[in-house]
Every structure is written in structure tokens, then in C-alpha cells.
Structure 1
Amino acid sequence: MRNESIFDAIVEQVEERPCQNAVVLEDGDGREHHIGYLELHLLATSLAAWLQSVCRPGDRVLLCYPTGIEFTRSLLACLYADVVPVPVPLPGRTDHHLSTITGIALDAEACLVLTDAAHSDEVYVWLTHDDLGIHECVATDVIEFEDASDWVEPLRKGEDQALLQYTVGPGGGPIGITVSHANVLHNCALIAAAYGLGSGVRSGGWLPLHHSMGLIALLLAPLISGGTAVLMPPETFCADPIRWLRLIDRHDVRFSVSPTFGYGLCVSEITDDQLAGLDLSRWRHALLVEMTGASPAEARTVELFAERLRTAGLRAEALRTSYGLAEATLLTAVGAPGGAVEARCFDSRALDRNLLIPTSDTQGPRLLGLGVVPEPDLRIVDPVTAGALPEGRIGEIWVRGPRVVPGYWRKERLTGERFDQVTADGEKGFVRSGNLGAIVRGELYVTGLMRDVSRYGGRYLDLGRVERAIVGGGSIVACSAFPAPADRDEIIVVAQPARAETDEGSSPLIREVRDILALRFGVHRTKVVLVKPGQVQVMPDGEVNRQLTRELFVANALDIVYADVAREFFFEEVAALPGTREAEGSALT
């Protein structure tokens, strides 16, 4: 019988393998905890009975736990009780972290917060400090809940909401994604088929469970497919990366996943002595997932990881790449099995003109392919015309199909701007990823972000690449490029020189910047503003804050060394910058 809900899929595994381990946890002290399918099901059922007595169907419940069995129990209990779990990280020590989870709690309008006894005081302090006292906080591991006989099986299934998953929105704050039961089941089936998950197969790793990559790939996919999820806290991995690899060896883990960051930490922190005696020959699928597109996957990091771990038995063909998108539940393109991950070199001048052309020149940018494109569910689309682009042309990545979620939580305007998009030739039902990329020889490559795109002369211009090219010349250490306030076919470059400049010494720098834009990008109308250190604004993640720099420029609030811009530019009205939330809705009109 075809499963129509996550509950159906879990119960099927409980009936088939009641005594098999469902979850194994290695905590920060190296102790091992485990729980079988039947025991997990019974504990979840008792908690679900209580949840049904205090919540209404569809209510949101915050899950504020460390990685572990109690989180898994509470997640399933919410699904068993027809309430919507909202996984969130534990309160951190920084104001930014606290404001993020407070924003989630308020946006979700959660009626309840579940945690464990070890962290209940910490959670209570956060709720009190941020005036969230209306949220009842319950430590689920120390309370004896209702008799499970009072529990009523859930009715929500198919396209009904299963999860409320938060990610970073266009403005940098948290934004909720409504994930249905059908979305989860489809993506878990994709993961199981691509990476050999099934009865008794162990998957595991360190990714946080409030993140879709950890929640879907490392927890729900193995549980739904009848495997075992082997978990460790992310802070344990960050403190001692070798423990991830030892976890894989000790527990015979066949599938694990990490962003580039995790592979890079292993390369930089693990010693040859630590690798001695490690056996990774049974590790079948070491998956790299690229999700944000903020910087293309670092090919050299993955190659170094493969080289270092070859001595521990890791097979080159075990490394796999994929492209993930939160709006498509998780995995969207999956690397083909059977061959070693290989980066391609591309022509840098062609890339500057939105073409991805392989080259034998090793000086060009090297990018990792992120998987085979699932036809007909993925298109590369021109951001100006909405026309589907041929192989080798760079545009925005659009995705459709059963993996795509219904939309953003209570954000009708943004949902309308991003979801249910139509290409110029009438193909419907796509979600805009916000990532730039191209297809080369049937494989997807991610090259940047839509927020970096501006219209210029009837085409689109990747301002992120413009900025990187200028900084790459060596004379400029930071810069921000944006359309002139009074003329969108003219580009303003706010740049910080590598050394202090006088008016007389500024002319060669300005010519250098203009030459880069003219020769590499075909931009011949450029104004350059040289500023003192600290004037080019950046966001918390280190990316250039182009909109804020532009607003300061228009307001004449930058500390300028030299400018070849007429003074009237400084007092134009600030307009929404292309690529931001305000402008995205009209980017294709």
C-alpha cells in the first residue's frame, strides 16, 4: 500500500522491524545511546496523546533540543498528533542568534515549546528575556504523559503541511517554508534510490537537525526507508572533526552528507596520526550538498579530502555531489554514481558574459558539477525574458515537481514572486531558486546568486562577478558595484584602494577599474568612487551589502577619497536594488 503520510511510512517500518535500531546517538562524551523502532513509536505515541489534549490540529510546536533521541521522539509525536513541528536551534549566546529564534517563535505563532530537562532552564531564560512567556515550555524527558490509549491516529497526509522549516529569507532574516507530507516522502524516496538506503542500512553524520539537510537526509530518510540514523552533535564535530570519520567507521555508516565546510574542516584539522587505523572502505556515499550558491563549491577542498582519506580506504567514487534547495524540500540534482568527483575548468572571459564554456586552461575558474539535471523538472531561465536557455548559458535555476513545497509561511507576496512561475514558452509550476547556474554536458553547475543580478543594456549583469574581478586585480581590496541612481545603464563602483591614494594618484586606479568592466563585461559607462577603509558595507556572512552601500552613496554619507561622479548623483531618490526582495517580483517583466 502506498504511504500517504510520514506517519504511515514510520508505522510500516515499526511493523516490519520492531527491534531494529531506529536511532543511534554518540553524545559529546562519547557515550552511545540507541532506541529501536517499536520503542520509539510507543514513546512518540504517548507524547502525541498529550499533545492532542493541549493542541489543535495544525498548531505549531517549537522543538528546541540538541541532536538526539528525544528530538526524534518529539518530532514523530507532533506528526502523530496532527500538529506541525518547527525545529529550532537551542538559544545561543549572541544577540543575533537569540533574535533569530525569537523571530521564528513569533512568526510561527507557536503554542508550545518542547525541550529536554538539561536545557529547560536555558530555554526558559530565553523565553522570559524576549518576553515570550505566553509560550509554555515542557521538558519531555522528565514528564510521564497520558495513557497512549487516548491517542487518535492523525488525519493529515498528502499535500497537508507536515513541517514548518525555517531558512534565511531574501532580507537575511528567517522565513518559514511549509513542507507537506508528500514533499518529504518524495524527497526521501529520491535519497533512498540514489544512495542505496533501505532495510538495515546505516546513515549518519553531524549536521544539525533544525536544518533541512540534517532533518531530511540524516534522520527522516533513513527512518522512512527502514534504516538506522547514526547521529552526533554538530558541536562535537566542530571541536574534533575526526570523530565524524570514526563514527562512520565504528557504526558501518554507508551514507553521510556535509556541505563543503565539513570537508574543509577535516582537511585542515585532522592529523595523519588520527587517520592511522581508520577504515573508511565501507563508506559508499560521501555526499557534498551545495545549497546557497553564495560561492561555488570549492573543488580543491573536495579533492584534498579525497587525497587525505585515500590512506584510510575511502574510495574516490564514494564522493558524490548534489544541488539542494530548501524550497524543493532538499535534493534537486544528484551526482551520478560510479565515477570520481571531478572539477572542470571554464573560460573566465566567457563566464563574465554569462557563458559556461569548458577549457583546457587551468588558470580559469574550476567548478564542481552538482548532479544530473532531472528532466523535465529543472530549467535554466533568462532573468530578463523568462526564456529557457540552452546548454552552456548562465541563468536562474528554476525547479518544479512533487519535491517543490507549497510556498512560504504566511508570506503571500513573496510566495507569488517565487512560486508557480511560468517560462516564456508557457511551461508552468516552477519555483525560482535565487541561484545562477548553467547546464554543461547534462550536469548542473552553480555560479552565483540572483541577488547579484542587475539589468544592463537589455541583458543581465552579474554584479558579484564584477566585484570579484575588480578585487582580483590586486589594487582594490573591497568594492561594491550597482546601477547609477539616475541611469540604470551606467554602473557605479565604490572601491577601497589597497593603499592610500591622492587625487593625482587616483587616475590610474580609475582607469584600471573601467578597463575591467569594459574588456571583461562589455560595460562602457562606468563611474568610480574611491573611499577610505570601512566604507564598503558587508553583511554578517561577509558578503558585500550592496544595497546599504548604495544608500550611503546616494545620501552622500561615504568618506570619499576621490570620485569621478557628478555631484547631482548624490541626491537622487534611493530605489529598490535589483535582486532584492522588493525588486525580485518585477525582475522578469
Structure 2
Amino acid sequence: MHERKTFVELMCARADEHGDRTALIFSVDPLRAEADETMTYGELDQAARRVAALLQERFAVGDRLLVLHPSGPGFARSLLGCMYAGMVPVPAPPPDGRQRRQADRLAAIARDAGAAGALADGTDLEALASWAKEQDLRDVTVLAPHFAGGSGGDSGQESGQESGADSAVDELPEASRWRPPPADPHALALLQYTSGSTADPKGVMVDHANLLANAEILAAISGMSADGPVGGWLPLYHDFGLIGLLLTPLVLGGRSVLMPPVAFLKRPHTWLTLIDRHGIDFSPAPNFAYDLCVQRITDEELARLDLSRWRCAVNGAEPVQAATVEAFTRRFTAAGLRPEAMLPGYGMAETTLVVSGDRPARRAVITEVDAAAFERGELLPPAAGAPVHRIVSSGPAEHLDVRIIGVHAVDADAGRTLPDGRVGEIWVRGPNVARGYWGRPAETRRVFDAVTPDGESGFLRTGDLGILHEGELYVTGRTKELIIVRGRNLYPQDLEAATREAHPALERGVGAAFSVPVPEEEVVIVRECPARQVAPDELARVAASVRDRLTRDVGVPAQNVVLVPPGTVARTTSGKIQRRLLRRRFLGGELPILHAELSPAVRARLGEAAGDSAGGAAGGDAS
């Protein structure tokens, strides 16, 4: 597909070959075409050279630089400018003064990466300076490249403020002052921080060879090419948006159409309007985004959509729910969506982005299996009249070397390569598997250089559970989030899905399931509930509905049901529910509880303070 060794070489060649071709379109408001900003390959290349020339005056090759722009033109210019300078961009969300966790997490990333500087929009300089001072990051130089008129080729200047962090005010150099970095395919292209804990973020080292190999694999899976526009709302500081929506289309010489994530969250139909208006071929999103569209897009909004050109509606970043695939397909068939456009996929930052994906032009593979056998870690066809569980394939495992290895919590054959039809940890090996975690050699050896029982090395331990069956890879959950109750292996997303429709007040909220050892494992269900729409005396009936639905549909004693205000259940930037964080907050008595029904054992575990807090809203124990 390409002969260049690095992303920078490839971008320079694209600018030489077709500099007037559109590379990026930023749609501030997908409902208003006049709000679009367009950049050609030539403009993007010139902007990157000018930013790189500035950086080369201030920093050294290999320095790590935070890229803190919101999704938009500034992010693309600064990210590519870092790469053109031979430095390592570290994409991250800018600090939000209203969210302490986000500010602390960004500071932890800056320290872990040893960041020498940060690039941001000029409007964010004051907030960044305050953040850096508060976090004692005075050695971080904050720069704000600014291009007059918003065009990548315009002359401009950098603006900054002297407050807290070192800041500078300099004119951007001419592109001619840029010095190309060494063309080393194994030089770091970027550090992608995973959605981990606030205090312990891990930076995945993605080199140029990983980036180009991932583009080839994604193109092979999806048929993505220079001819089909790619687009969507995913945040550019997350691997799903950064690699899938921005960098891969540039590698392929195509066009990417981007919109602000907040626009989608406020008005979900703007995403589908973007797809319609620009004839987007490939647009990915996590499972929750498809649910949100089904719930909130009105009939009037749907009637104005034409989704017939959307060939790849990729669903990834969390286990794909069969009900979501079917509901979205039913709802938007009227707008021309083809059922075969729904493409479940699987990937992670540690593989640059992609592991597997369903083939375009075939319908998603949804397999019914025996529910009891599935809880034992086996895939068997359901017996007549027996409970059924439905799982969705994430596509054929054909572009990476995929193995399923037994883990102690799931399989008696822990540590062994399992045959098809058995649940175990997914291990993968391939050219897009990243080089490891920044500054963590021991963890890199453990996670990125795992050895199979028969002595094959170089495998990535994904931490995810899955099954291989008839060539298809089914992702079933995270090893660390598996709930084991009385010998049954339960997946939190299945419990969450079972309780979402327990009561009309819960249909639009988010839920999380986890277990607490007291000393035997007990399931805890936390569900968001709009208190303003539910009378206080109705909350007990909502909790009872959750308990009854879980007992009836899953056969799990649901002794612990906690109702919380909307927005309490934290998600990662890709939409994954942060269950372990919520569990820590629950056990620490930190949740804002509207109503809780707790077993005596869990109430005792919480302690007197947390128990009183829960009881004040809750009433009695669950029976």
C-alpha cells in the first residue's frame, strides 16, 4: 500500500503528489455546512512543518509533548507538528477546572511521560497555567500555535502567558526552517495513554511501523480506501478517534470529516447528519452511542436522514450487545441503513487500534449458546427449552495471530492454549502490536512478550476474555471484571443489560455491575435514575423492579441495588463503563445515593458512615 518507512515521509509524499486534495474537514456544527473548515494535504503539511520548526527551536528530538487541543484543526496541526519535529506527541484532554479527576489524571500523564512541553489552544492557556501551577509542573513549557484565519497555510503567531508553567510568545517560523527527522520506522510516533486509574496511567508506545501496519490491517478488514470518506465524533485524544478517524485516513490518502464529541452527546442526530451530508463511508462508535441514537433521535429527525451510503457502521470499544445491533438496524432501516453495514469490531491501544472486525457486506454474526454452559466457560448449542445466551462475533480472527489461553477464574486448564469453543484470555501477535508501556520494562515483558505453553513468544496479553468459534472471535468481557457467584462466571455487561429495561425511569440511564466479597461474592447493581422524574416513594419500586428482573432473567440473587443521579457512573473517553472505579467509590462511601437496598453483609462491609448514608435514602435491607 505504501513504500515510506514513517508517517512523516508518507505525509510529505502525499503533499507532493496531491497537495490540493482535501485531507480534513472539521464540522463545528454538522447542521450548518457553512461552519465547516477544510484543510488540504498541502495546507496540513505546511502547517505541520511550521509547528515542527518552532518545536525544534525549543525541544530535543524524542521529547514528549502533551497535545491538549480539543478535537479540531489545532489538534491535527500540533499532533503532526510533533511528529514532523521528531518528537513524541502525547494526546490528552485539556484540564477541566470543574473535574478534579481529569486534572489529576492529566498531571499523572505529564509526570509519567516526562513531558517537556504542552501544545494547546490560546483560549486554554490561562487554565493550563493554573493547572500546571497547582500540580507543581513548572518545567512544562506551554505553547499555543495560532494560524490567522484558521487556514493551515496562513501566517500566524504563537501566543502564551507567563503564569505557573513556562509559556512563550513567538512567531511561527517559516516552513523552510523545518529539518526532517531521521526516517526510522521504529522511532516512537506517539504515546497513547490507556483509560486506567487516575494515579497510574500507562503510556502505550506506538512506533511508525505499528501505525502504518495498523492502517493496512484496518483497510484489509473494512475496505477503507482513499475514495471513501471517514468521519465521526470520537475524541481525537483517544485511540479510537486518533487512529481510526484521523491518522489512518491520512495514511491511506483519504478524507476525514470530524465533529466535536460534545455535539453528538447533546444532539445525537448530528452524528448521523454528518454521515448523510458528507456521504461518509466508514464511521465508528462504541456500543453506547448506537443505544443513544435509538433512544433520542426523533421520528422527525430520522425522516431527514439518508444513511444508504454508510457502508461501515463499526461498533467497538466495549463488548457489543446483540440487542443494540438489532435495535439500531430496525430503527434506521427507514433511513436507508443496510443491515450488513453494522460491523462489530475489537481492538485496543496496545494493538495501535485494531485486532479484528466483521467483514462489510455480511450481517453481524449473532450466535445463540447454552446459557449454563457459557457460565462454565464453554460454547455449546442450547438444548431444547434451556436458557439461551446471545453473543456477537467481533469478526474473523484472520489478520493477527490470535490464541485463547486458559485463566484460573474461568477454566481449570489455566495457562494452557484452549481449543475452539472455550472461554479464556485473548492473546494476540502481529505487526501493529505496540512496543510496550513507556518506562515500565517489567510490565512490558509481562504483557507484551507473553510466551504460550508451547514456547511461542511475542504475544500481547489483552486482559480480555473471549472465544474462538468457527474462525470467529467473540469477546466476552474483561478478566478483572468477571463476577463469580456460586461457581457461575457472570459478565457485568450482561447484568447491566438485563436491568436496563426493568423500569421506564432507567431506560436512558447507565448502569454498572460488580461484586463485593462479604466474604462470599455478592452482586451489586448501580443504576442511574432521574430523581426529578421519579417521586421519592417510587424509588423503592424502581429498585424492586431491578431486583426482580435480575432474579427472573439471570437467576442471580440481586440483594444490592443502588440508585444514583444521572452522570454518576463514570465512563472512559471511549464509552467504557469504569466499574472498578465505581466499586471503589461505593466501598468508600463516596457515591451520591438516591436510594439503596443492601444486604446486611454488604451494609456491614460499607461501615457505619456509608451504611447510614445509604440507609437515609434507602429504607430497609434487601430480603
* Superposed pair shares fold, TM > 0.5: yes
Shift of 1:120: 2.4
Assess if the C-alpha contact under 8 Å between 2:263 and 2:270 holds in 1: yes
With over 3 angstroms needed to count, the CA separation of the structure-2 counterparts of 1:361 and 1:397, relative to structure 1, is farther
Q: Secondary structure at the match of 1:369?
A: strand
Question: For 1:561 and 1:321, how far apart are their aligned partners in 2?
Answer: 38
Assess if the C-alpha contact under 8 Å between 2:375 and 2:490 holds in 1: no
Q: Secondary structure at the match of 2:396?
A: coil
Assess if the C-alpha contact under 8 Å between 2:64 and 2:89 holds in 1: yes
With over 3 angstroms needed to count, the CA separation of the structure-2 counterparts of 1:452 and 1:196, relative to structure 1, is closer
With over 3 angstroms needed to count, the CA separation of the structure-2 counterparts of 1:133 and 1:278, relative to structure 1, is same
Name the structure 2 match of 1:442. Answer: 471
Question: For 1:74 and 1:446, how far apart are their aligned partners in 2?
Answer: 35
Name the structure 2 match of 1:395. Answer: 424
Deviation string, structure 1 residues 521-555 (Cα, Å, up to 9, x no partner) = 9xxxxxx9988979xxx985462679969999xxx
**Pair 1:543 & 2:548 matched:** no
- After TM superposition, the structure 1 stretch with the greater mean CA deviation from structure 2, 325-334 or 169-178, is 169-178
With over 3 angstroms needed to count, the CA separation of the structure-2 counterparts of 1:483 and 1:446, relative to structure 1, is farther
Q: Secondary structure at the match of 2:205?
A: strand
Question: For 1:7 and 1:357, how far apart are their aligned partners in 2?
Answer: 49
Match of 1:365 among 369, 383, 389: 389
Name the structure 2 match of 1:20. Answer: 21
Assess if the C-alpha contact under 8 Å between 1:481 and 1:546 holds in 2: no
Name the structure 1 match of 2:458. Answer: 429
Q: Secondary structure at the match of 2:415?
A: coil
Deviation string, structure 1 residues 372-396 (Cα, Å, up to 9, x no partner) = 1126611111124321111110000
Assess if the C-alpha contact under 8 Å between 2:230 and 2:249 holds in 1: yes
Shift of 1:344: 2.0
Match of 2:336 among 300, 313, 335: 313
Question: For 1:137 and 1:57, how far apart are their aligned partners in 2?
Answer: 17
Match of 2:371 among 345, 348, 367: 348
Match of 1:386 among 411, 415, 435: 415
Q: Secondary structure at the match of 1:322?
A: strand
Match of 1:480 among 515, 526, 536: 515
Question: For 1:21 and 1:455, how far apart are their aligned partners in 2?
Answer: 52
With over 3 angstroms needed to count, the CA separation of the structure-2 counterparts of 1:495 and 1:375, relative to structure 1, is closer
Name the structure 2 match of 1:410. Answer: 439
Deviation string, structure 1 residues 82-115 (Cα, Å, up to 9, x no partner) = 0000011122221111111111112111111111
Question: For 2:523 and 2:292, how far apart are their aligned partners in 1?
Answer: 34
Shift of 1:246: 1.1
Question: For 1:391 and 1:209, how far apart are their aligned partners in 2?
Answer: 36
Name the structure 2 match of 1:106. Answer: 111
Q: How does 1:64-103 map to 2 (within 5 A)?
A: 64-92=68-96, 93-103=98-108
Question: For 2:562 and 2:247, how far apart are their aligned partners in 1?
Answer: 48
**Pair 1:189 & 2:216 matched:** yes
Question: For 1:265 and 1:529, how far apart are their aligned partners in 2?
Answer: 26
For 1:320, the aligned partner's letter is L
Deviation string, structure 1 residues 432-471 (Cα, Å, up to 9, x no partner) = 11111101221111112111469999xx9746579959x9
Name the structure 2 match of 1:512. Answer: none
Assess if the C-alpha contact under 8 Å between 1:367 and 1:445 holds in 2: yes
- After TM superposition, the structure 1 stretch with the greater mean CA deviation from structure 2, 298-307 or 56-65, is 298-307
Q: Secondary structure at the match of 1:371?
A: strand
Which segments of 5 or more consecutive residues in structure 1 lack a partner in the other structure? 485-490, 498-515, 522-527, 553-558, 570-589
Assess if the C-alpha contact under 8 Å between 1:480 and 1:546 holds in 2: no
Question: For 1:496 and 1:242, how far apart are their aligned partners in 2?
Answer: 30
Identity score, percent: 37
With over 3 angstroms needed to count, the CA separation of the structure-2 counterparts of 1:355 and 1:100, relative to structure 1, is same
Which segments of 5 or more consecutive residues in structure 2 lack a partner in the other structure? 147-156, 159-170, 409-413, 503-511, 527-550, 571-576, 589-596, 606-623
Shift of 1:171: 8.3
Shift of 1:185: 0.4
Deviation string, structure 1 residues 144-198 (Cα, Å, up to 9, x no partner) = 3123222211115212211000112378842111111111101111222333333
With over 3 angstroms needed to count, the CA separation of the structure-2 counterparts of 1:233 and 1:57, relative to structure 1, is same
Question: For 1:220 and 1:153, how far apart are their aligned partners in 2?
Answer: 19
Shift of 1:199: 2.9
Assess if the C-alpha contact under 8 Å between 2:108 and 2:199 holds in 1: no
Question: For 1:111 and 1:417, how far apart are their aligned partners in 2?
Answer: 29
Name the structure 2 match of 1:287. Answer: 314
TM-score (norm 2): 0.76
With over 3 angstroms needed to count, the CA separation of the structure-2 counterparts of 1:43 and 1:358, relative to structure 1, is same
Name the structure 1 match of 2:285. Answer: 258
Assess if the C-alpha contact under 8 Å between 1:467 and 1:479 holds in 2: no
Question: For 1:39 and 1:417, how far apart are their aligned partners in 2?
Answer: 43
Shift of 1:494: 7.6
Deviation string, structure 1 residues 224-268 (Cα, Å, up to 9, x no partner) = 101111000100111111111111111111111111111111111
For 2:479, the aligned partner's letter is M
TM-score (norm 1): 0.80
Shift of 1:210: 0.3
For 1:430, the aligned partner's letter is F
Question: For 2:493 and 2:93, how far apart are their aligned partners in 1?
Answer: 36
Q: CA RMSD in A?
A: 3.9
With over 3 angstroms needed to count, the CA separation of the structure-2 counterparts of 1:221 and 1:496, relative to structure 1, is closer
Number of residue pairs matched? 525
With over 3 angstroms needed to count, the CA separation of the structure-2 counterparts of 1:136 and 1:246, relative to structure 1, is same
Shift of 1:327: 0.8
Question: For 2:277 and 2:15, how far apart are their aligned partners in 1?
Answer: 25
Question: For 1:530 and 1:299, how far apart are their aligned partners in 2?
Answer: 27
Name the structure 1 match of 2:354. Answer: 331
Q: Secondary structure at the match of 2:394?
A: coil
Assess if the C-alpha contact under 8 Å between 1:87 and 1:210 holds in 2: yes
Assess if the C-alpha contact under 8 Å between 2:192 and 2:203 holds in 1: yes
With over 3 angstroms needed to count, the CA separation of the structure-2 counterparts of 1:383 and 1:172, relative to structure 1, is farther
Q: Secondary structure at the match of 1:162?
A: strand
Assess if the C-alpha contact under 8 Å between 1:59 and 1:111 holds in 2: yes
Question: For 2:446 and 2:476, how far apart are their aligned partners in 1?
Answer: 22
**Pair 1:132 & 2:156 matched:** no
Assess if the C-alpha contact under 8 Å between 1:20 and 1:36 holds in 2: yes
- After TM superposition, the structure 1 stretch with the greater mean CA deviation from structure 2, 149-158 or 46-55, is 149-158
For 1:14, the aligned partner's letter is A
For 1:419, the aligned partner's letter is F
With over 3 angstroms needed to count, the CA separation of the structure-2 counterparts of 1:549 and 1:131, relative to structure 1, is closer
Assess if the C-alpha contact under 8 Å between 1:4 and 1:157 holds in 2: yes
Assess if the C-alpha contact under 8 Å between 1:452 and 1:462 holds in 2: no
For 1:436, the aligned partner's letter is L
With over 3 angstroms needed to count, the CA separation of the structure-2 counterparts of 1:398 and 1:64, relative to structure 1, is same
Q: Secondary structure at the match of 1:345?
A: strand
For 1:119, the aligned partner's letter is D
Assess if the C-alpha contact under 8 Å between 2:228 and 2:254 holds in 1: yes
Name the structure 2 match of 1:578. Answer: none
With over 3 angstroms needed to count, the CA separation of the structure-2 counterparts of 1:348 and 1:483, relative to structure 1, is farther
With over 3 angstroms needed to count, the CA separation of the structure-2 counterparts of 1:463 and 1:549, relative to structure 1, is farther
